[in-house]
Amino acid sequence: MDKAHAAASSAEAVAAAVAFVLRSTKARPQTEAELRAKLAARAYPDDVIDAAIDRTTALGAIDDVAFAKAWVNDRGRGGGYAGRRMRAEVRRRSLAEAMIDDAVGVLDERDDVAGATGLARERAQGMSAKLAPEAVARRLVGFLARRGYSEALAGRVAIDVSGLDRHWD
């Protein structure tokens, strides 16, 4: 194969990789690391992957900082997840620690007790009135723990919301 043909093949491979990345990010935003892994799984050579990532980053299809901030805003603020869980979720997407700190840092301003209490109240309203307060509290602790709240905070909130802190006559 001559150099001109190899260059044409390489350009075609880059174009195909770029098209794949654009289709993939249209479905949902993804990090550079996720897209690199997907391209590698499709057996693209490293130089083609690098060129495709550079091109799609220039087009704005890949932006890890915007991804991290949007992910934390959507799930952390909108979904009620605690900072600890958000940090773990964003870390699984292979982002740099500084990027993670910056994105999750917006949750530091949030009142975790108020957020957990609101979530627990909403969840408790959907539970059967026949459940004993102890059962409600146990379920709320599990629910809040899955959202990333510490066991101590989840326990305090569950006791308050379930009414275990009240004296019943």
* DSSP per-residue codes, 117-134: HHHHHHHHHTS-TTS-HH
Instruction: For residues 85 and 112, give the distance between their C-alpha atoms in angstroms, rounded to a whole number.
Output: 13
pTM (predicted TM-score): 0.69
Structure confidence by residue, pLDDT tens digits, 101-160:
998 888 877 888 988 999 999 999 999 989 998 999 999 999 999 999 999 999 999 999
Query: CA–CA separation, 87 vs 89, rounded Å?
Result: 6
Residue-wise pLDDT for 18-63, tens only, equals: 999 999 998 888 999 999 999 999 999 999 999 999 999 999 999 9
